[in-house]
Amino acid sequence: MHPPLTPHRHPMCLEIIEEFQKFYLDHPFGKFFGDCTELKVKLDRCFRRGIELLIPYL
């Protein structure tokens, strides 16, 4: 599961978020068969990088 894909909350990941959302529109059942796994991994890595950048400020 991923956090809400709102561009203003994750500006670093905007390109991957748009790619992920486009995939879901073009392949609505692909998520059930693991077709988007590669995109999901890229998105998770991007979110983690964003969190790692924020941690020093928390």
Residue 17 in domain? yes
Average pLDDT estimate for 48-52:
80
Distance CA 40, CA 16 (A): 9
pTM to 2 decimal places = 0.74
Whole-number pLDDT of residue 2: 60
Residue 25 in domain? yes
Residue 11's pLDDT band, with cuts at 50, 70 and 90, is: confident
Whole-number pLDDT of residue 42: 92
Average pLDDT estimate for 4-24:
85
Residue 22's pLDDT band, with cuts at 50, 70 and 90, is: very high
Residue 1 in domain? no
Residue 3 in domain? no
Residue 36 in domain? yes
Average pLDDT estimate for 8-12:
81
Residue 5 in domain? no
In the chain, how many domains are there? 1
Q: Which residues contact 17 (CB under 8 A, 6 or more apart)?
A: 5, 7, 10, 43
Residue 6 in domain? no
34 conformational bin, left if phi > 0, alpha if psi -120 to 50, beta if neither = left
What residues make up the domain containing 18?
Answer: 11-57
